[in-house]
């Protein structure tokens, strides 16, 4: 089984120890658990001969380098005005009800984390959201429930 430590080692070996590779390494290690742990950050720092505080500072700058525990899937709902005008609030509400969590929380089964994000570039097809890397557009409350269902079926 792949361990966390080996994931760090593999990512650093793949990209190289130079500082310029820090972002790709953080991105890759993040995929292991869908977020970055304290141990991940300090191990990456040690491997790359950087200070832990520095790597933490870099990681905390970027929205998608999650530093808090996340579920297997992360839902990012666009909160920009164009999606808002198309009813993103209703989508959020539908998801909160369906998943029985609030924004920022993770479902008790660990399947989903519900978050908001800034413009994801689908303003003409709002409301829009990302689940992990996949964009979903022109959402309706019914449609998001189907999407969530499809993920439960996939799991």
Partner 1 sequence: MAKRKLKRVDLIFSQDCSCKDILTEALKKSREEIIQELIDSGLKGRGGAGFPTGLKWKMAAAEKSNRKYVICNADEGEPGTFKDREILDRVALKVLGGMALCAYVIDAREGFIYLRHEYRFLIPKLEKMMETFHKWMDDFDLDFRVKLFIGSGAYVCGEETSLIESMEGKRGEPRNKPPYPTNQGYLGKPTVVNNVETLVYTMMIMRIGADEFKGMGIEGSSGSKLFSVSGDTHKPGIYEIEMGMTLEDFVKEFGDGDTKAVQVGGASGFCVPRKRFKETTIGFQGGLKGFSLPTGGSMMIFNSSRSMYNVLHNYLEFFEEESCGQCTPCRVGCQQLLKGIEAIKRGEKSYRYLNDLLRLSETMKLTAKCGLGQSVANSFASIVENFREEMIY
Partner 2 sequence: MTEKKINLTIDGKKISVPEGTTLLEAAKLEKVKIPTLCYHQDLCIAGNCRVCVVEVEGWRVLPAACATPAMEGMVVYTNSPLVRRSRRDILALLVSEHSTQCTTCYRSTNCELQELAAEYNIDNEIYINLLKDKTFTIDRTSWAIEKDESKCIRCQRCVRTCAELQKVNALDVINKGANMKIATFFDTVMSEVVCTNCGQCINRCPTGALTERRYIDEIWDALGDPEKHVIVQTAPAVRVALGEVLGYEPGVRVTGKMAAALKHLGFDSVLDTDFAADLTIMEEGHELLDRLKRKLVDKEDVALPMMTSCSPGWIKFIEHMYPDHLDHLSTCKSPQQMFGAIAKTYYAERKGLDPKNIVNVSVMPCSAKKYEANRMEMNDSGVQDVDLVCTTRELGHMIRQSGIDFKEIPNAKFDPFMGDSTGAAVIFGATGGVMEAALRTAYEVVTGREVPFDGLKITPVRGMEGIRETSVKLENVLPEWSFLENIELRVAIAHGLTNATQIMEDVAIGNSPYHFIEIMACPGGCIGGGGQPIPTNAEIRRKRAEAIYTEDEKMVIRKSHQNPEVIQLYKEFLGKPLGEKSHHLLHTKYTRRERV
Q: Which of 37, 47, 84, 147 binds partner 1 (CB under 8 A)?
A: 84
Counting contacts by CB under 8 A, is residue 154 touching partner 1?
no
Q: Tell me how far apart the alpha carbons of residues 37 and 4 are, in angstroms, rounded to a whole number.
A: 10
Q: Tell me how far apart the alpha carbons of residues 114 and 133 are, in angstroms, rounded to a whole number.
A: 14
* Exposure class string for 144-154: b at 16+ Cβ within 10 A, else e: beebbeebeee
Counting contacts by CB under 8 A, is residue 68 touching partner 2?
no
Counting contacts by CB under 8 A, is residue 46 touching partner 1?
no
Distance of closest approach, residue 103 Cβ to partner 2, in angstroms: 17
Rank residues 10 and 23 by Cβ distance to partner 1 and give the closer one: 23
Q: Tell me how far apart the alpha carbons of residues 121 and 144 are, in angstroms, rounded to a whole number.
A: 19
Counting contacts by CB under 8 A, is residue 69 touching partner 2?
no
Residue 58 CB partners (closer than 8 Å, separation 6+): 22, 23, 26
Chain residues in the site for partner 1 (CB under 8 A): 18-24, 26-27, 57-58, 61-65, 79-82, 84-85, 117-126, 130, 133-135
Chain residues in the site for partner 2 (CB under 8 A): 38, 41-42, 45-46, 50-54, 56-57, 60-61
């Amino acid at each position: 089984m792949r361990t966390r430590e080996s994931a760090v080692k593999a990512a650093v070996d793949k990209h190289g120890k130079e500082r310029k590779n820090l972002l790709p390494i953080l991105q890759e290690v993040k995929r292991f658990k869908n977020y970055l742990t304290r141990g991940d950050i300090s191990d990456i720092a040690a491997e790359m001969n950087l200070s832990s505080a520095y790597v933490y500072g870099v990681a905390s700058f970027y929205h998608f380098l999650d530093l808090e525990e996340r579920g297997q899937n992360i839902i990012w709902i666009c909160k920009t005005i164009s999606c808002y005008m198309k009813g993103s609030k209703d989508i959020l509400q539908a998801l909160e009800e369906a998943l029985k969590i609030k924004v920022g929380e993770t479902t008790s089964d660990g399947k989903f984390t519900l978050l908001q994000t800034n413009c994801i570039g689908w303003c003409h097809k709002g409301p829009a959201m990302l689940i992990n890397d996949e964009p979903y557009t022109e959402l309706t409350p019914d449609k998001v429930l189907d999407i969530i269902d499809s993920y439960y079926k996939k799991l």
